[in-house]
Amino acid sequence: MLSDKVRTLTYQLALTRARRRLEGGVLLDVGCGTGILSMFGAKAGAAHVYALDGVAKLCHLARQIIAENNFSSRITVINSKVEDAQLGVDRVDAIVSEWMGHALLYENMLPSVLSARDRYLLPPHTSTVDLASWRRERLFPCRASIFIAAFSAAAVNGDTGGYDKEEQEEEEDPVENVKQWEELSELYGVNLTGAFASAVQQDLEKRVHVDMIDARCVATTTSEVATLDLATLSLEELSTHGVKGTFEVKSMGMVSVRGFVIWFSVQFPHGDVLSTSPYKASTHWQQSLLYLSGPLPLEQDEVLSGEVHFTHPQDAPRDLSISIDFSVNNSHKTRVEANYLLSS
């Protein structure tokens, strides 16, 4: 994650710009990891930072890094879940967290941030303010948006943008994986085009594939599926119903659509934006690809519209289920429903 310069420098800039709000205050870092964001907060003027993480080894490492940078007196690392944490203070002045996963919601860390917000991000008792507006200026990030488009083919983008490509998990193009079984059957003299190829195809159609897609493969306009205001988003609503939104995208030519690509962006209080769009510098989040069961031919300006629903399986709450229901030109005859899973 530290080698993702786009991610890390955007957080650094956002916290630095907020110096007037952080100066002399208390900052809470939810899921602190190595402690890099905590140190950015301390450098931006926070009098004290509470750095929470549920992984003991990470907390031990964070303490070492913080000590090496002479911040031990101003940053307290606590090995605890947010829900069980005892900070020793009743309130904080700001919250920072790098909670986003693939397709924004994978790993399901957002509820912990909202729990911390409800419990600790409170104005001074003497203040009479609009709570939502007050919180929106003190959440890093304060908003998140999910976007969708259709793509005609998957291609790994050679531009690594701001991070070390060697650290990502390389994933072959699943379309090519499916095609190769005929060639291998002929080469090995055994049939791999039946049950084995079927299993590969099922995996292709049911799994969320994380990869960097070449922007030239995006075949439609882009639609914003959902925007989350972290100052007002209900923890109960999120946990019960997940995130749901509608979309409408238009073909940018005569294309053969292979699936949908999902990405996200987050916004910080002073307007800084961290985007995982295929049109921007690449990040370790890459994009999330949903393959259709087969190619879908479209003419110029034909419209794909429908609904996307993001939920977390009860038996594996860190995983992410994505269901999509769409049609071409609002024709019921072309309606497609599909479900995908992103799991560790």
CA separation for the pair 129, 123 (Å, rounded): 8
Q: Which residue has the tokens 């941030």?
A: 113
Catalytic residue check, 107: yes
Q: What is the DSSP letter of 38?
A: H
Best CA proximity match to 334, nearest among 306, 313, 308, 300? 306
Give the residue among 243, 247, 253 at the shortest CA–CA distance from 151: 253
- The beta strands (E) that lie in 72-111 are given as 75-79, 94-97
The set of residues, in sequence order, having a beta carbon less than 8 Å from that of 58 and lying 6+ positions away, is: 32, 33, 34
Spatial strand order of the sheet with 336-342 comes to 243-250, 303-311, 320-328, 336-342
Q: DSSP letter at 182?
A: H
Nearest by Cα to 298 from 119, 150, 179: 150
Q: What is the DSSP string of 106-161?
A: TT--HHHHHHHHHHHB---TT----HHHHHHTTEES-EEEEEEEEES---B-S--T
Please classify residue 42 by burial: count the beta carbons closer than 10 Å to its beta carbon, then call 0-12 exposed, 13-18 middle and 19+ buried.
Answer: buried
CB under 8 Å to 183, separation ≥6 — which residues?
none
Q: Which of 68, 98, 137, 337 is catalytic?
A: 98
Asked if 98 is an active-site residue, the reply is yes
Tell me if 27 sits within 8 A of 49, measured CB to CB. yes
Return the closest-CA partner of residue 140 out of 296, 22, 300: 22
Provide the 10 A C-beta neighbour count for residue 240: 9
Residue tagged active-site, from 23, 68, 83, 107: 107
Name the token pair of 142: 């304060």
Q: Kindly give the residue spans of alpha helices, DSSP state H, lying in 18-87.
A: 19-22, 36-43, 56-68
HSE toward the beta carbon, residue 10, CA cutoff 13 A: 24
Catalytic residues: 98, 107
